[in-house]
Structure 1
Amino acid sequence: MVLTETAPEALPKRRSRWPLFVCLALLAFVVASVLIFKIPEGRNDERLIRLQERVSRLSLPPQTEPDQRAQASMVGLLSGNSNHCDYLVHLALVTKLPDAEIARYFQSVTVEGVEGREISGTVYVNPSGSWRGDGYKGVIVEFFDGGHEAGFDLRCH
């Protein structure tokens, strides 16, 4: 066997693998972030949607109609300053009922909250009337369910 010396230029160049490892690490970080943070957000969004559906199925008192232009719902840290999730659903209505009667109605009606606890609505009456006129006034009924486990949902911290 004869050993020969080969010039370094003739040897095949070995490619560096560090860019591959960096790309794999970044991909792992993105996947882990999605799993850790987006899945809890999706779970809380689903809870909010179910609460909103229960509120929308409520029967309305007489002379009261929904105002679809002002419906809203949200999840996050809405009250206090600690580590918990709050759920809020706004039900916008127009009504001809007196303020006390509409408030009494929604305080007596309960909806199953996020974790099964019964919650009732808080009524806010627009003192300037409604866009509709004809003796109607705008009313917002808030259904608030707060103090639930936040998990890794960043909106609740």
Structure 2
Amino acid sequence: MVLTEAAPEALPKQRSRWPFYVCLTLLVCVVANVLVFKVPEWRNDEKLARLVERVSMFPLPPDTEPADLSVQGTVGIQSGNGNHCDYLVRRSLLTKLPDAEIARYYESAAIEGLEGRPLSGTVYVNPSGSWRDGFKGVIVEFFDGPHEPGFDMRCH
């Protein structure tokens, strides 16, 4: 057997593997971030969507119409100082009803909350006067909280 020495340029070059490991590490970090932080946000958004749907399906009182077709919902810390999730659903309406009557209608509402407890609405009347044809603007809010936040960063 004869051993020969090969020239260094004739030897095959080994590829560096560090770019592969850097990319793999970044991918693992992104997937971990989605699993730990985004999935709880998506779950809370789904709960909020169901609550918004229940508020939207609640019948309007007589002489009342929506001022805005969309119903607004928010997840996060709405009251208190942290480490819990609150859900707030807001609906903007136009009504001819007296202030006390519209307030009584929504205070007696029994919309099912996230954990089955009935929610009543709080009515805020626009103090700036009437809109058109005797209608005045009101905002009705339904608040449900506090709930366990999980890893939803909006609730910490």
Matched, 1:12 2:8: no
Deviations 1:57-115 (A, max 9, x none): 11121111111257321111121111111111111111111111111111011111112
> What is the match of residue 141 of structure 1?
140
Report the more deviating stretch, 24-33 or 58-67: 58-67
TM (norm. structure 2) is: 0.95
CA gap of 1:70–1:46, structure 2 versus 1, over 3 A, is closer
Separation in 1 of the partners of 2:21 and 2:151? Answer: 28
Provide, for residues 6-42 of structure 1, a one-character-per-residue CA deviation record: whole Å limited to 9, x for no partner.
1222211111111101101101111111111111111
Partner of 1:36: 36
Partner of 1:25: 25
Q: Note the C-alpha offset of 1:117.
A: 1.4
Which residue pairs with 1:53 in the alignment?
53
| CA–CA distance in structure 2, aligned partners of residues 52 and 80 of structure 1 | 22
Contact 1:94 1:130 in 2 (8 A): no
SS of structure 1 residue aligned to 2:119 = strand
Aligned to 1:116: 116
Counterpart Cα distance in 2 of 1:44 and 1:124: 26
- TM-score, scaled to structure 1: 0.94
Q: Secondary structure of the residue that 1:100 maps to in structure 2?
A: helix
Query: Contact 2:83–2:155 at 8 Å: present in 1 too?
Result: yes
Distance 2:71 2:54 in 1: 14
Q: What amino acid is aligned across from residue 153 of structure 2 in structure 1?
A: L
Report sequence identity in percent.
71
Partners of 1:84 and 1:138 lie apart in 2 by 32
CA distance in 2 between counterparts of 1:52 and 1:63 reads 22
Could you tell me which runs of 5 or more consecutive residues in structure 2 were left unpaired when the two chains were aligned: none
**Amino acid of the structure 2 residue aligned with 1:86:** D
> Which segments of 5 or more consecutive residues in structure 1 lack a partner in the other structure?
none
Tell me how many residue pairs correspond in the alignment. Answer: 156
Tell me what 1:66 maps to.
Answer: 66
**Runs of 4+ deviating beyond 2 Å:** none
Amino acid at match of 1:44: N
Residues 74 and 89, structure 1, Cα contact 8 Å, conserved in 2 = yes
- State how far apart, in whole Å, the 1-side matches of 2:129 and 2:38 are: 41
CA RMSD of aligned residues (A): 1.3
